[in-house]
Amino acid sequence: MTQAEIKLCSLLLQEHFGEIVEKIGVHLIRTGSQPLRVIAHDTGTSLDQVKKALCVLVQHNLVSYQVHKRGVVEYEAQCSRVLRMLRYPRYIYTTKTLYSDTGELIVEELLLNGKLTMSAVVKKVADRLTETMEDGKTMDYAEVSNTFVRLADTHFVQRCPSVPTTENSDPGPPPPAPTLVINEKDMYLVPKLSLIGKGKRRRSSDEDAAGEPKAKRPKYTTDNKEIFRSLPVGYNISKQVLDQYLTLLADDPLEFVGKSGDSGGGMYVINLHKALASLATATLESVVQERFGSRCARIFRLVLQKKHIEQKQVEDFAMIPAKEAKDMLYKMLSENFMSLQEIPKTPDHAPSRTFYLYTVNILSAARMLLHRCYKSIANLIERRQFETKENKRLLEKSQRVEAIIASMQATGAEEAQLQEIEEMITAPERQQLETLKRNVNKLDASEIQVDETIFLLESYIECTMKRQ
Amino acid sequence: MPHIEAQQRAVAINRLLSMGQLDLLRSNTGLLYRIKDSQNAGKMKGSDNQEKLVYQIIEDAGNKGIWSRDIRYKSNLPLTEINKILKNLESKKLIKAVKSVAASKKKVYMLYNLQPDRSVTGGAWYSDQDFESEFVEVLNQQCFKFLQSKAETARESKQNPMIQRNSSFASSHEVWKYICELGISKVELSMEDIETILNTLIYDGKVEMTIIAAKEGTVGSVDGHMKLYRAVNPIIPPTGLVRAPCGLCPVFDDCHEGGEISPSNCIYMTEWLEF
């Protein structure tokens, strides 16, 4: 765990759960697997508090426990799960687009509570929906359960494993009842698939019986007829046009879709690894372009395409004057986007008689960029907290005023009195509040955007590591 | 000339050589003599043997020219002599010096009326040893606009997707013809030149290329295949990291909480928030 990741985890834990949980969580991330007493001793907190903190963390699937030899139970935190907390808003949004408000509320409840039983979720969501609906109507429990079952089918929610009650040698916490938890890995597959692919996804989810997270599967083949059958009705695409689209997709130089045979009118495959590689490369290129300029981006893409290239050839191919090309190459080299490969002509490696070739190693560049992303998000969160702290006095005042107004409205006060109270907040102060709100929103939105980059890069790195 | 004795022949030939009327050449079978045409003979009248030797060496170098050090090796003359002779010849307008584009300090000498070879001057992209970057930029943009408009018309025609894609392609020959007709270039551009420009567009990520097999004889095909180019959209918009100030920050590595540069007092963030 790098420093940047640990810092980010600590900020997230603090924001969502408070100081004590943060202390315990960060300690576990830093030191790995530890038993209860050692945690209490090292962090200097009372056993009671440690237990409560661990409870919270386990409930939210951030810490797992295991029984080791001699019957000691050790707790281990998973840094990657903590970092997923950044993505919660995106999960909720995705569910909202696919399953409308009911789905959104279900996912929100589950994310807030970590784990819940199905009946508890359904009850809570139905009650919340009833509140917001018109008077006299109530939300049907069956409808909520229906949505819940659909979510479970498409692996948005997943059942927790339950500890068997017959296990008496387990001195750990008592066995949890069958509860449900969000299966996070699947959530992010949905935004990536194209419009045609939506049909495909539903078909393949029926085939996928084992509940294996889809991100792990390298490709799945579907044939022409299945695709045609599973297209949403409103599209109005005839069979020939569909054929042509599929051929175009398969021929595209980006190679997202491949054709693997002709049985059944053509078998098509999605090359997830290639797709991820292209997306990661595009991310790298975009970063180079924004940071160094479009000429640098040209050189970068050139080196990517040619794999290994000499400095003189860079000038020739990219049609950029020699001095500028040299400058840009060195800048990118110093920022670790590129690396040099030496090929000596003579056994004594003399610099004047060696070839120096520039090359881009996508995996290492992706890792470097990922690290930068983590630090950026940590910076953004810190700035947001700083801005809020700066204006704390103002925020408290506005909260008090709102509370007074609300209570006066409840007791039926006059217009004039309400006006007076509102004027307690002067115009410039109101302005300040507005700016503060806007800034905080902007910082929040920016965090989510950087998280998108993190998602791409992480998926690419994971996919490449699995293949090796 | 069988009726003149060999001895006399030799004397005559030697005299003609010294007067500069004959050229001495060597071939497989022996020595050959060639009469110089009168113009050339007149030119060299005032020069002596050494100059003639140097001139011959430069002439042999053809349109690639020859470096002064190489002249010295070939003629075995000392450097000062060489320089004097070269100055002489230049003033008589018999040779000229051309700066090489590869090594800007090197000067190559060639005959006055010869066109320097492409490798020395750099071809169409260089004018007087200077790389014409604006010219390249203008060509770049023009080619891209042409391909973009082609893709637009193809998309708007609303025919089935296969035809749409195929009609948005343009072969390198078409682009070349378009650029020639535009007439923005004073220098004559060949199809290879246009292809190098189109390659830079590929490296800009704005254009993609495919190669198809074409029958020999179809317009624009080279060795049985044709290159087709098409304007494309980028696959992702500018990524999330660069939308935050941290992605572009030059002092990123120095920034940490509690230091001189920290997120709380970051000026880039302040500017960005006010935007």
pLDDT at residue A138, as a whole number:
66
CB A372 to CB B241 under 8 A? Answer: yes
| B-chain residues near A369 (CB < 8 A) | 241
Q: What is the widest separation between alpha-carbon atoms in chain B?
A: 109
A429: exposed, middle or buried (Cβ count in 10 Å: 0-12, 13-18, 19+): middle
Q: Which of A55-69, A248-262, A276-290, B231-245 has the highest mean pLDDT?
A: A276-290
Comparing CB atoms, the residue among A291, A382, A450 nearest residue B244 is A450
Say if residue B5's pLDDT is above 80. no
Interface probe with B: pick from A11, A195, A249, A376, most Cβ of B within 10 Å: A376
A39-53, A133-147, A420-434, B132-146: segment of lowest average pLDDT: A133-147
User: Which string of b and e fits A49-70 if b means at least 16 CB within 10 Å?
Assistant: ebeebbebbbbbbbbebeeeee
Q: Which residue has the higher pLDDT, A246 or A278?
A: A278
Q: With an 8 Å Cβ cutoff, is B205 touching chain A?
A: yes
* Residues 300 through 319 of chain A touching chain B, CB cutoff 8 Å: 301-302, 305, 317-319
pLDDT at residue B2, as a whole number:
62
Record the pTM. Answer: 0.77
Q: Mean pLDDT throughout B26-38? A: 66
Q: How close, in Å, is residue A358 to chain B by CA atoms? A: 16
Say if residue A365's pLDDT is above 90. yes
pLDDT at residue A330, as a whole number:
92
pLDDT at residue A441, as a whole number:
92
CB A279 to CB B235 under 8 A? Answer: yes
Share of chain A above pLDDT 90, in %: 13
pLDDT at residue B222, as a whole number:
66
Q: How many CB pairs under 8 A join A and B?
A: 127
Q: Mean pLDDT throughout A59-65? A: 85
How far is Cα A329 from Cα A289, in angstroms, rounded to an integer?
A: 13
CB B210 to CB A286 under 8 A? Answer: no
Comparing CB atoms, the residue among B199, B205, B239 nearest residue A287 is B239
pLDDT tens, residue by residue, A13-55: 999 998 989 998 899 998 888 888 888 888 888 888 888 888 8
How far is Cα A49 from Cα A22, in angstroms, rounded to an integer?
A: 12
Q: Mean pLDDT throughout B217-228? A: 70
Sequence-distant (≥ 6) Cβ neighbours of residue A45 within 8 angstroms: A20, A23, A24, A53
HSE (CB half, 13 Å, CA atoms) of A112? 9
| A-chain residues near B234 (CB < 8 A) | 282, 286
Mean pLDDT across chain B, nearest whole number?
A: 76
Q: With an 8 Å Cβ cutoff, is B242 touching chain A?
A: yes
CB B242 to CB A287 under 8 A? Answer: yes
| A-chain residues near B248 (CB < 8 A) | 290-291
Say if residue A272's pLDDT is above 90. no
How far is Cα A191 from Cα A91, in angstroms, rounded to an integer?
A: 10
Nearest CA in chain B to A251: B210
CB A319 to CB B136 under 8 A? Answer: yes
Say if residue A389's pLDDT is above 50. yes
Strand A339-344 versus strand A354-359 pairing type: antiparallel
pLDDT at residue B92, as a whole number:
80
User: How confident is residue A366, by pLDDT bands cut at 50, 70 and 90?
Assistant: very high
A87-101, A418-432, B34-48: segment of lowest average pLDDT: B34-48
Comparing CB atoms, the residue among B203, B239, B266 nearest residue A286 is B239
* Residues 426 through 465 of chain A touching chain B, CB cutoff 8 Å: 439, 442-443, 446, 448-453, 456
CB A379 to CB B255 under 8 A? Answer: yes
pLDDT at residue A300, as a whole number:
93
pLDDT at residue A171, as a whole number:
47
Q: With an 8 Å Cβ cutoff, is A388 touching chain B?
A: no
Q: Mean pLDDT throughout A445-461? A: 90
Comparing CB atoms, the residue among A244, A320, A379 nearest residue B160 is A244
pLDDT tens, residue by residue, A168-224: 444 444 444 444 555 554 444 433 332 333 333 333 333 332 222 233 333 467 777
Q: Mean pLDDT throughout A266-295? A: 88
Residue type at A421 in one-letter notation: I
Q: Which domains does chain B have, with CATH numbers?
A: 1-36 (1.10.10.10), 46-122 (1.10.10.10), 132-231 (1.10.10), 250-274 (no CATH)
Q: Got the DSSP string for B210-246?
A: EEEE--TTSTT-BTTEEEEEEE---SSPSPGGGGSGG
Q: Mean pLDDT throughout B13-37? A: 69
Nearest CA in chain A to B132: A321
B29-33, B58-62, B265-269: segment of lowest average pLDDT: B29-33
How far is Cα A222 from Cα A172, in angstroms, rounded to an integer?
A: 46
Say if residue A303's pLDDT is above 70. yes
